[in-house]
Amino acid sequence: MSLPISYDDVVAAHARLHGVAHKTPVLTSATANAMTGAELFFKAESFQRMGAFKFRGAYNALSQFTPEQRKAGVITFSSGNHAQAIALSARLLGMRAVIVMPKDAPVVKVEATRGYGGEVVFFDRYTEDREAIGRKLAEEQGLTLIPPYDHPHVMAGQGTAAKELIEEVGPLDVLLAPLGGGGLLSGCATAARALNPACKVFGVEPEAGNDGQQSFRTGQIVHIDTPKTLADGAQTQHLGNHTFAVIRELVDDIVTVTDTELVNAMQFFASRMKAVVEPTGCLAAAAALNGKVDVRGKRVGVILSGGNVDLQLFAKLVLGAEEAR
């Protein structure tokens, strides 16, 4: 069976991103190694442009538009990191970006998207269907829709994070990546399997939203209600058809962590590693730090997927974790 993306697609994406995306740093911590008995390599996508790996997939997708598509522009519906990634990529490529967001989206997210030149169109999430609005605008204005995860160009772009990590640190025994809709995990699994076939690949989800784990174990895409979790980048209700096809084939398992484990990991990064990592960005690290995957004695890659967190919330969570100690 042929999968929606191959390693060649990841290599081509990496060439398109060269000189545009940052080659993000790999962080290490003797304390984290001592706590886990493993050798951990944290790929800090919190230092990527716009603060998350999503720039990789968005730019890879937009840079493949035809001249006609480029002239009309791009549309997406998202209030999170994908919106900012699309807005920034569109600005760099000189095209229009229309972002459909709920009326009650956090002001900081609306402002960040506008700051990158995105045109925000609001909808009422209780009475209107965002996909219908997106489709209508796309049709009327000739815009191309780029979804946040279920698109081969997006998936291939996200896989460049794992490619870069393995090329920098050498073969790994285990690779851990956060899982929302599966763009990041499917791309990273594709890269890891090609570069490092013995490497085991795990996705990490919030416990409250384990639709990916259920899907992986039952062999069918499971839909859930929007989960209540601090990991707002992983509040997806289901995997995509393309992402699931890759995940079921190339991933070893999917594990979960609790919100408390996420907050403790955030606190660890802030206090020990002087790094700001958003709750969703801590998923993979929390799995390693809490023994959700057997990492003892192993070389382990951990994707820190992003750092975009409201500073008030960050301070509250980190200080709360400190007090609970």
Ligand X SMILES: *Cc1c(COP(=O)(O)O)cnc(C)c1O
* Residues at the interface with ligand X (CB under 6 A): 52, 54, 80-81, 148-149, 158, 178-185, 233-234, 236, 278, 280-281, 305-306
Residue 141 CB, nearest approach to ligand X (Å): 26
Residue 72 CB, nearest approach to ligand X (Å): 25
Residue 232 CB, nearest approach to ligand X (Å): 8
Nearest to ligand X of 9, 278 (CB atom): 278
From the centroid of its chain, how far is CA 28? 21
Nearest to ligand X of 70, 177 (CB atom): 177
Concerning whether 89 is annotated as a catalytic residue, the answer is no
The encoded tokens of residue 310 equal 């409201």
CB 233 within 8 A of CB 306: yes
Residue 45 CB, nearest approach to ligand X (Å): 7
Residue 179 CB, nearest approach to ligand X (Å): 5
Nearest to ligand X of 73, 157 (CB atom): 157
Opening angle at CA 274, ends 57 and 271, nearest 5: 125
Q: Which residue is nearest to ligand X (CB)?
A: 306
Chain position carrying tokens 């009326």: 103
Concerning whether 79 is annotated as a catalytic residue, the answer is yes
Nearest to ligand X of 5, 70 (CB atom): 5
Supply φ then ψ for residue 98, to 5 degrees: -110, 125
CB 314 within 8 A of CB 307: no
Catalytic residue among 43, 54, 109, 292: 54
CB 23 within 8 A of CB 169: no
Helices (H), 142-210: 152-169, 183-195
Nearest to ligand X of 134, 281 (CB atom): 281
Catalytic residue among 46, 78, 79, 215: 79
For residue 47, the 8-state DSSP code is: G
> Could you tell me which residues come within 8 angstroms of residue 67 by beta carbon, excluding any fewer than 6 positions away?
none
CB 256 within 8 A of CB 210: yes
Full strand arrangement of the beta sheet holding 119-123: 119-123, 97-102, 74-77, 144-145
Q: So which residues are the catalytic ones? A: 54, 79
